[in-house]
Amino acid sequence: MKIALLNDTHFGARNDSPAFLDYFMRFYNEIFFPYLKENNITTLVHLGDVVDRRKFINFKTAHTFREDFMHRLYKEGIDTHIILGNHDTYYKNTNEVNAIKELCTTYDGIKEPWIYDKAVTKNFGGTDICLIPWICDDNYEHSINEIENSNAQIALGHLEIKGFEMNAGHVNMQGLDKSMFRRFEKVISGHFHKKSDDGQVYYLGSQYEITWSDYKCPKGFHILDTETREITRVPNPIRIHKKLIYNDKDNDYVNMDLSHFKDTFVKVFVTNKTNEEMFNNLIDRLHNTIDTHEVNIIEDLNTDITASVKDNVLEQGEDTLTFLGNYVEQIDSDLDKNKLKEVMKDLYTEASERWYYLKRLDGRTFYLLETTLLK
C-alpha cells in the first residue's frame, strides 16, 4: 500500500498572506493532486500543523482550505487521516480544542477526515502504524504508553526529538530523546521544516517555502510504501523566494530576462553598483513590470550585525529566526548558546501571535516587540 504524506502545510501562514495562499495552492493543483490521481494513491496521512496559527484563521483562508483542499480530498475519494500538530491546537496543554475539528466536523457529529488527538495504532493495508500527534500535558502519559507498547514497526507523528535540525543552522536541543523510539524501524515526522534523517528518524521537511530559511532547501511531499518501507520524495520545484546578486561590473542588466521573478519575493544583494541608472531601471522593472510580491534591497553588507553573518545572508537570504541563530553562534559570550537560541525561538513564536513577552536568561533581560517589527 502506498500512503501520501503531507506535513506542516501551515494554511494561513505569514499573517494569512494571499500571496502565500496562492503559492500553496499552486503546489496542490499542479503537483500534489495530479500525482495522487496519476498514481492511483487514495490514502493520505497528514503529520500535523495543517494550519499556521493556534488561535485564529481568517475567513478567506478557511474557505480556501475547506473548499479547495479538504473538499477536493473528499470528492476525489482520498481516505484522509490527520495527526494534530502544535499549531493546530488552541491550548498548549491539550489537543482537545483544535482547528481541524472546528473546521471539518459536520453538524451531525461525523468527522471527515479522521482526526487523531491521542496516539493510536491503526492498520493500513495490513501494516500497523503508530500515529502520534503533538505530545502535551493532557496526552503525555497515554502517548508514552502507546509508544512503548505498540506492535507497529512504523511511527508517523508530529514529534519534537532532540538532535535534529529545525531549520538551517538551528539544531533542536529539547523535547524527546531518540531512544524512546528505539523499538520502531522507522519514525517519520513533521514539525521541523528542514528535511533530515539519521536512517531511523526521518523529518520530512515542509512541502513548500514559508520563510527565507527555506531558501534552497529541497521541498516536496512524500510517499510511504508500507510493503518495502521506502519513503519517496515527490519534488516541488515551485519557489516563492528568489535572490539576485547585483554586480554591474560583470553583468548587463538592461536586457536581462526577469520573468522568472514573477509572483516571488525578491532580495537584491548589491555587491558592486557603478551604474545608478541601470540599477534603478532594474528595480523599477522588478517592482512594476514583472509583478513581484516584494523587492528588498540590501546594499550595505559590512555594518553592524550583518557583517558577522554576511556569507550566510548572501547564501540563504535568511529570515529573522535563522539570522538570530547564526548571530548567536558567532558572538563572543559565555552564555549557553543553545539555551539562548531556544529562548529566542520561543519569543519569536509568541511574537508571531502578536503578544508581548519578556524572558530572562542568566540575569540578562531580552525584550521582543510585535511581529511586525520582525518581518
Residue 282 and residue 248 in contact, taking contact as beta carbons nearer than 8 Å: no
Residue that is written with C-alpha cell 483562508 in the block: 61
Dist. CA 69–CA 54, nearest whole Å? 19
> Pick from 137, 86, 141, 83: which is nearest to 113 by CA?
83
Please state whether beta strands 186-190 and 114-116 pair in parallel, antiparallel, or not at all (unpaired): unpaired
Task: For residue 314, report the phi and psi dihedrals to the nearest 5 degrees.
Answer: -65, -40
Which of helix, strand or coil describes residue 22? helix
In this structure, the number of other CB atoms found within 10 A of the CB of residue 118 comes to 16
Q: Cα separations (Å) of 61 from 11, 12, 88, 166, 178?
A: 7, 6, 14, 26, 36
Could you tell me the three cell numbers for 188? 517519520
Could you tell me the three cell numbers for 165? 535540525
- Residue 180 DSSP label: G
Task: For residue 35, report the phi and psi dihedrals to the nearest 5 degrees.
Answer: -65, -45
Mark 256-285 as b/e (b = at least 16 C-beta within 10 Å). Answer: eeeeebeebbbbbbbeeeeeeebbeebbeb
Instruction: Enter the pTM of the model.
Output: 0.82
What does the pLDDT read at residue 126? Answer: 95
- Residue 89 DSSP label: B
* CA diameter of the chain: 69
Q: What is the pLDDT of residues 83-123, one digit of tens each?
A: 999 999 999 999 999 999 999 877 666 666 899 999 999 99
Reported residue count of the chain is 375
**Sites in the chain below the pLDDT cut of 50:** 303-317, 353-375
In the CATH scheme, what is the homologous superfamily, with its name and number, of domain 2-235?
A: Metallo-dependent phosphatases (3.60.21.10)
Residue that is written with C-alpha cell 554591474 in the block: 248
Dist. CA 361–CA 364, nearest whole Å? 5
- The strand ranges marked E within 7-159 are 43-46, 79-83, 114-116, 120-124, 127-132, 154-158
Q: Cα separations (Å) of 165 from 65, 105, 327?
A: 29, 35, 17
DSSP structure string for 149-160: H---SEEEEE--
Q: What is the pLDDT of residues 44-97, one digit of tens each?
A: 999 999 999 999 999 999 999 999 999 999 999 999 999 999 999 999 999 999
Residue 210 and residue 195 in contact, taking contact as beta carbons nearer than 8 Å: no
Dist. CA 98–CA 314, nearest whole Å? 39
What does the pLDDT read at residue 305? Answer: 41
Start-end of CATH 3.60.21.10 domains in the chain: 2-235
Quote the Cα angle for 89-233-325, to 5°: 55
What does the pLDDT read at residue 352? Answer: 53
